[in-house]
Amino acid sequence: MSSRGRNVFALALLSAGVGSLLVAQEGSSAPARLGRDVLREMIEVNTTDAHGSTTVLANKLAARFTAAGFPATDVQVVGPADSTRHHSLVVRWRGTGTARPFLLLAHLDVVEARREDWSFDPFTLVERDGFFYGRGTTDVKGPAATLVASLLQLKSEGFTPSRDIILALTSGEESGNSNGVEWLLANRRDLIDAAFVVNVDGGGGALRGGRRTAFHVQAAEKVYQSFAFTVRDRGGHSSLPTRGNPIYRLARALGRLDGYAFPATLNSVTRAYFTNSADLVDGPSGEAMRRFVANTGDAAAVATLSADLVYNALIRTTCVATMLVGGHAENALPQLARATVNCRMMPGSDPDSVRATLARVIANTGVAVEFMGKATPSAPTALSSEVAATLDRVITGLWGRVPVLQMMETGATDGLYLRNRGIPVFGLSGIFFDVEDDRAHGRDERIGVASFDEGLEFMRRLLRELAGP
């Protein structure tokens, strides 16, 4: 790889050291009130794939933009005619200059949340003990609300961009069904074609022990691939148990999977990330990073990093059982048992090789291991000098000298579709999240009130810088 190629993955240390936090906006300020109002509306519209509608929320937000003075022709709710619950919102704020537009990206859909699983109604925004609770506060309605509120606030202040700003709030990121970005690229690329993308579904600030340790910019992401583990049998009466019970056979296979870890490895992104993070992380983890970079076969270093959920996901492919189906009657032997196993593969991994590894690990030819969907890898994005310089000014102005690190996202985002169409994507958000208490997709999902307010101010400043004179 050339030095230019290596720079694609290089750590962007735009600032050095960790400074003190800017005092957050007070909740009574106009931008904060607007941000809360937008966040509440977004949380309280159910946008799950099974029971909700991104179209309903897209129309509500569209009304905000037209009421704020955006021409109706530049505020469009679009999507497939055969999937009317899964439409997306695209807003264009026309600038005065000739520079190509940039795109702001987030998704409106959220994963399912059951009231009985939560301490609160997941589709009612609750503020308690310095946090906002609700499904999507983290992934990704909180960051999306900072986009919407910042654009509306800038419009109300009389700001005029020198280049077009495009906002796309899309559907289908979480479910994979009726994916809004794929649909737009295939049917209305003209609406979202841009010089680059700011994707708030990636990156953002990192909190550890209440301390701001780094600001992450997503440069790459792992590859999403699910597999079905299926066991079949002829069944029979439950009073006559057999050794072929599919539920037991599947359980044994999943137990073997639970005990397996894919080999630890590095790519250019993660090598740079660990190399430069080692001096920022106190204690055994920092030392383990240094040793792992020097020798990926260092078992003690691997064990230390593997004990941390985030670091573990950064050093290896992970596969985990997420759903189970089995049996057909309480008094009958099951004829089928099936598990969904979701894998997040390291970039460059061969899906066929991962499938073969899973089959080898479970060591049971009676368990079929089959692909569910097709993996979509994407190439990394180098941080452009324009965006890097802008980030440096905005971050330093808000929080002082905070290290800015390019990293690999442990999940997958819609940014991959845009990268694969030749549009650079930078995953970043102005919200700092507690990496030791990540509740995305989980119970009582939440976002810090102060972090949200700071994220609003960050995004307003960032947009001014990127689209200003």
Per-residue pLDDT of 140-168, as tens digits, reads 999 999 999 999 999 999 999 999 999 99
- H or E stretch at 239: none
Note whether 155 and 92 are within 8 A (CB). no
Only one residue has tokens 């090598």, namely 271
Asked if the domains at 3-221+379-467 and 225-372 fall in one CATH topology, the answer is no
Cα separation of 226 and 355, whole Å?
10
Burial of 37 (0-12, 13-18, 19+ CB in 10 A): middle
Q: Which residues contact 17 (CB under 8 A, 6 or more apart)?
A: 400, 401, 402, 403
Least confident of 64-73, 173-182, 228-237, 395-404: 173-182
In the predicted model, what is the mean pLDDT of residues 178-190?
96
- Which overall architecture, per CATH, does domain 3-221+379-467 show? 3-Layer(aba) Sandwich (3.40)
Question: Does the pLDDT at position 25 exceed 50?
Answer: no
Question: Does the pLDDT at position 18 exceed 80?
Answer: no
What count of residues does the chain have?
A: 469
Question: Does the pLDDT at position 66 exceed 80?
Answer: yes
The three-class DSSP label of residue 308 is coil
The rounded percent of the chain whose pLDDT value lies above 70 is 94
Whole-number Cα distances in Å, 233 to 251, 255, 336: 15, 20, 6
Residue 225's pLDDT band (cuts 50, 70, 90): very high
The pLDDT score that the predictor gives to residue 10 is 36
The pLDDT score that the predictor gives to residue 382 is 83
The pLDDT score that the predictor gives to residue 121 is 97
Whole-number Cα distances in Å, 360 to 316, 364, 369: 18, 8, 10
**Beta-strand pair 196-199/425-427:** parallel
The three-class DSSP label of residue 465 is helix
Instruction: Say if pTM beats, i.e. exceeds, 0.75.
Output: yes
In the predicted model, what is the mean pLDDT of residues 47-64?
96
For 356-381, the pLDDT digits (tens) are 999 999 998 899 999 999 999 998 88
Among candidate residues 244, 252, 257, 262, the one with its CA nearest the CA of residue 354: 262
Only one residue has tokens 């995953």, namely 427
Note whether 355 and 262 are within 8 A (CB). no
Among candidate residues 170, 173, 196, the one with its CA nearest the CA of residue 184: 170
The pLDDT score that the predictor gives to residue 27 is 56
The pLDDT score that the predictor gives to residue 22 is 43
In the predicted model, what is the mean pLDDT of residues 285-290?
97
Residue 328 φ/ψ, nearest 5 degrees: -135, -10
Whole-number Cα distances in Å, 187 to 184, 424, 463: 5, 20, 27
The pLDDT score that the predictor gives to residue 380 is 86
How would you write 3-31 as a 3-class SS string? Answer: HHHHHHCCCCCCCCCCCCCCCCCCCCCHH
The pLDDT score that the predictor gives to residue 28 is 67
Greater pLDDT, 313 or 279:
313
Only one residue has tokens 């999937």, namely 83
Q: If you ran DSSP here, which 8-state letter would residue 346 be given?
A: P
Whole-number Cα distances in Å, 3 to 10, 12, 143, 393: 10, 15, 34, 27
The pLDDT score that the predictor gives to residue 57 is 98
In the predicted model, what is the mean pLDDT of residues 9-37?
58
Residue 19's pLDDT band (cuts 50, 70, 90): very low
Least confident of 259-268, 284-293, 310-319, 435-444: 435-444
In the predicted model, what is the mean pLDDT of residues 164-182?
92
Sequence ranges of the domains in the chain: 3-221+379-467, 225-372
- H or E stretch at 304: helix 299-306
The pLDDT score that the predictor gives to residue 5 is 34
Largest CA distance in the chain: 79
Among candidate residues 160, 144, 220, 150, the one with its CA nearest the CA of residue 380: 220
Cα separation of 415 and 200, whole Å?
10
- Which overall architecture, per CATH, does domain 225-372 show? 2-Layer Sandwich (3.30)
Residue 415: other Cβ atoms inside 10 A: 26
Mean pLDDT across the chain: 92
Residue 14's pLDDT band (cuts 50, 70, 90): very low
Question: Does the pLDDT at position 138 exceed 90?
Answer: yes
Whole-number Cα distances in Å, 175 to 109, 162, 363, 423: 8, 36, 31, 23
